[in-house]
Structure 1
Amino acid sequence: MRPRMRICLSAALAGAGLILSGCANPSVGSDRDDPTQPVTLKFWHGWSNTAEVKAIDDSIARFEKLHPNITVKTVNNVSDATVNQALRAGGDDAPDVVSSFTTNNVGQYCSSGMWVNLDPFMKKTGVEKTKVFPKTFLDYTNYQGNQCALPLLADSYGLYYNKDAFREAGIERPPRTMSEFKRDAAKLTKRKPNGSLARAGFVPNFRLYQNSPDRLFAQWGPKYFDGEGKARLSKDPRSKQFFATQRELIAAQGGYAALEKFRTTFGDEMSSQSSFMTQKAAMHLDGEWRGLMLEEGKAKFDWGTAPLPVPDDQADTYGRGFLTGTVAGIAHSSKHQNAAWELVKFLTTDTDQVVRFANAIHNVPSTFAALKSPKLDADPAFRTFIDIARNPHSTALPPSVNGGQYVVSLQDFSYDVEAGKVPDLDRGLRELDAQIDTDNLQSVN
């Protein structure tokens, strides 16, 4: 179970050394090593939960059994900031294999040269990536043709809904279109005698938990950049449709001020006092890990999962969702790149390994074969997210040269839109595009 944490501050990205890709000066490693000779690899990853770390350690044990000449020393709970500092410094203490939860930064990993291009390694070992990985997963692990990372499990986002509340409101199934979403959200909203909210149908406010705007926007299938890498949100009519729908969802449940006030009564996202667990929200946007949390927390109501609704004029895309995931790569500074590739290949392409790891930490597998495996967790709630990951209309954020800075800009803009601080949406979107383009230009100069 590994929740995705939203990007909150551009300063955090800057502090991680992930704003100016031009600053990278990676140490030169070697791809001339013999992977059959005794070697010790250093693998740095971000997992820290006891069960997650055990799942990684079990994976390494399986790898070492297959490759008795390779010893892997792992370091857990490592941030992108720490990894990038180590790779810039180089030397014997730097990792050989690295993983990251932040797919938004793939553009910088690739463009900076700190992670090596994996295509040559795949070619010489017979890995045909388009036959192994779904296209969306390949999209968020390469930048401008440089496949410097591969998917290492994925996360997909969908809808959790309170079946008891649905039955009480006379709603037979979860909504599939945005018009049904607004209708059901209003029917599910309950108020106290004084008029304040007792339960929201769905809290669309962008500051709530996993409600980063890009996740709901994915239901429209937006295109953030044109072929030249220029921001184009203002030129895409789906941008205005998205914001209009979000504001209509807010209006249907009493308005922004009422929902924001209600939001402050929710407990921490990962606690037993979160909004869905306490039945203060009848529908909830979240990833596949939430189901396990609801089971372990012994939720006191009947609940189910479904894909998020889609725009009415794209009803045929129902089943889609937002995708992201963990990525793995090889440090450019590694002098054992062929041996490192053996580890990356095992972790990302071995079907049995991918399925066992996915089942262990309750994440979505990231290969065609693993997604179809009969050994995959058969829990119906989890299967919803498998289906979302397999849906050809599901999308991920495109990599950018300055990492996730454009997502931060979108978030800041979205906060103002939902609060009614953007009177001219067309102008606001043009200014957002200009800001994103300026940030991207600065990052390469």
Structure 2
Amino acid sequence: MRRTRAAAAVAVTSALLAAATACGGGSADSGGASNTAPKELTYWASNQGPDIAADQATLGPELKKFEQQTGIKVKLEVVPWSDLLNRILAATASGQGPDVLNIGNTWSSSLQATGALLPWDAKNFDAIGGKDRFVASAIGSAGATGKDPAAVPLYSMSYALYYNKKMFRDAGVEKPPATWDEMVTIGQKLSKDGKWALGAEGSNLSNNIHQAFVFSKQHGAEFFDGAGKPTFDSPGNVDAVKQYVDLMAKDKIIAPGNAEYDKNQSLQDFANGKTAMVLWQSAATSFKANGMKEGDWGVAPVPVPAGGTPGAGKNTNSMVAGINMAVFKNTDNIDGALKFVKFMTSDEEQKVLNKSYGSIPPVKAAQTDGAFATDDLTVLRDTLGTSAAPLPQVPEESQFETAVGTAVKELFAEAAAGNPVTTESVKAKLTKAQQQMSK
């Protein structure tokens, strides 16, 4: 039986659990029972493909390959995103979790603060081939500045604007919008006959945060000040959130029903020709799984304010997205865990896995493969390198995602119900979210 985390870590995790969105997901040890066998590892993978079965089909042969090479069997559980954070937080509190797990890179600092994850110091990085093998921006989203990273980059992504070429042709639209003004103008032209211009997922808290963060950067705002104090209801953030929700509330280019969407439902609508555009990260695999073919969609950078082009500062158009791989510090098989991370981040496996998921390898050498030079991935890679910014690297990041993500969800619900979304109502929701951070 693994030992329980220190009391300080439990306190941090308990606070995070209170803010976590999902309340199901099973007990802390339901997918990661005690592991005393040195030739076995338990691995919680995040749901990267269209569904859990697809992930099992992708990862199964690779885990078998690892077993053949090392003699170490990997017990795989693919955990849905709706459950993943809760499962991890419960495991950090109880000490009963997997040996190795995937985490959203935006959670790195929050989970690092629990003390439950293995720090990736020079010795541990050397065991997997060295820190310099990884892209700097990916490492920058693996933990708080000035500390050893809490995880290792596994899959890198950024947001792009995907558009349905046929729907654009049918509406006489020649090119995708480059600014938000163009998005509204083009969007209103596309939103007719029961179809809508832009898909959204108003009940997807993580997606809400990602969009709100980008709009905030474009308004010159920050959700935390230099001392790490939340500034959610600042004028810039209020304007940013209102602009996003107004795409449904005022501009009428997002279907009201999208207020209830979660779990990739917007991707299904896009693939089925119900919406002409969607803002997403590495969506090609999901489009194909829903019946689309290469060439059916186009990819462009996410819009920026009028007069701007994608870049840093107010022209930021994506958060630094990606999945990191972490090791629980109290694993009974540290050597096996390090071998597994080394295998999953090897040049060859990075090519195999990132090709399967339509993501970008955070390992530099793997990026040279021609498979990552497609139109889709070129846009994503250029965005990641030039116009993406990391979400706040603060211990309270997961609470921030929940609090502000819920505020945006509630505002979308108001818009869908036909109620006015005003500057005052947006500020009230963000003030409430900010107050929750101190509880």
Distance in 2 between residues matched to 1:264 and 1:225, nearest whole Å: 27
Q: How does 1:116-127 map to 2 (within 5 A)?
A: 116-122=118-124, 124-125=126-127
TM-score normalised by structure 1 residue count? 0.73
Matches of 1:242 and 1:264, distance apart in 2: 14
SS at match of 2:137: helix
The alignment status of 1:252 with 2:251, answered yes or no, reads yes
The 1:200–1:209 alpha-carbon spacing in structure 2 relative to 1, beyond 3 Å, is: farther
Distance in 1 between residues matched to 2:143 and 2:246, nearest whole Å: 34
Residue deviations 1:310-366, cap 9 Å, x none? 122542426842343322112111244344223223323x22221111112333322
Percent identity between matched residues is: 19
1:43 is matched with which residue?
42
Match of 2:431 in 1: 431
Give the Cα separation in 1 of the matches to 2:262 and 2:44.
Answer: 29
SS in 2 for 1:179: helix
> How many corresponding residue pairs?
394
Distance 2:201 2:57 in 1: 36
Q: CA deviation at 1:176?
A: 0.9
Q: Quick check: 1:188 aligned with 2:181?
A: no
Bigger RCO of structures 1 and 2 (CA < 8 A, at least 6 apart): 1
Partner of 2:173: 171
In structure 2, the residue matched to 1:218 is 214
Q: Where does structure 2 lack aligned partners over 5 or more consecutive residues?
A: 1-15, 28-34
Structure 1: runs of 5+ lacking an equivalent: 1-6, 19-28, 30-37, 192-197, 440-445
Q: 1:242 to 1:132 in 2, by over 3 A?
A: farther
Q: Is the contact between residue 158 and residue 307 of structure 1 (CA under 8 Å) also seen in structure 2?
A: yes
Q: Distance in 2 between matches of 1:397 and 1:104?
A: 6
| Local SS of the residue matching 2:158 | strand
Q: Deviations over 1:211-233 (max 9, x none)?
A: 52433542553532223211123
Tell me by how many angstroms 1:164 deviates: 2.0
Partners in 1 of 2:259 and 2:407 — Cα distance? 21
Question: Which residues of 2 match residues 153-172 of structure 1 at below 5 A?
Answer: 153-172=155-174
Query: Which residue among 398, 406, 409 is the counterpart of 2:403?
Result: 409
TM normalised by structure 2 equals 0.74
Taking the aligned partners of 1:361 and 1:304, their CA distance within structure 2 comes to 18
Summarize deviations over 1:405-438 as a string: whole Å, max 9, x none: 2122212322454533555268537725632541
CA-to-aligned-CA distance 1:161-189 (integer Å, 9 cap, x gap):
12222223332211111111111111212
Amino acid in structure 1 at the alignment position of 2:102: S
Summarize the Cα distance change of 1:203–1:330 in structure 2 as closer, same or farther, 3 Å threshold: closer
- For 2:263 and 2:24, the matched residues in 1 are separated by 26
Who wins on radius of gyration, i.e. which is larger? 1
Contact 2:199 2:269 in 1 (8 A): no
2:356 maps to which residue?
A: 360
Match of 1:385 among 367, 372, 380: 380
Q: Among 103, 106, 110, which residue is 2:105 paired with? A: 103
* 8 A contact 2:319–2:388 mirrored in 1: yes
Which residue matches 2:13? none
Alignment match, 1:298: 291
> Structure 2 vs 1, CA of residues 209 and 159 (structure 1 numbering), >3 Å: closer, same or farther?
farther
* SS of 1:115 mapped into structure 2: coil
Query: 1:64 Cα shift?
Result: 4.8
Q: What amino acid is aligned across from residue 98 of structure 1 in structure 2?
A: L
Residue 369 of structure 2 aligns with an amino acid whose one-letter code is P
- Give the partner amino acid of 1:42: L
Partner of 1:329: 326
C-alpha separation in 2, matches of 1:17 and 1:74:
17
1:9-408 superposed matches below 5 A? 10=19, 12=21, 39-46=38-45, 49-64=52-67, 68=70, 71-78=72-79, 79-86=84-91, 88-90=93-95, 95-100=98-103, 102-122=104-124, 124-125=126-127, 129=131, 131-144=132-145, 145-191=147-193, 198-203=194-199, 206-207=202-203, 211-215=207-211, 217-218=213-214, 220-221=216-217, 223-235=222-234, 237=236, 239-244=238-243, 246-247=245-246, 250-253=249-252, 259-260=255-256, 263=258, 269-270=264-265, 274-289=268-283, 291-299=284-292, 302-312=296-306, 314-317=308-311, 320-348=317-345, 350-370=346-366, 372-389=367-384, 391-408=385-402
Determine if contact 2:20/2:86 at 8 Å carries over to the other structure: no
Residue number in structure 2 paired with 1:23: none
Cα distance change, pair 43–155 in 1 and its aligned pair in 2 (3 A):
farther
Shift of 1:270: 5.0
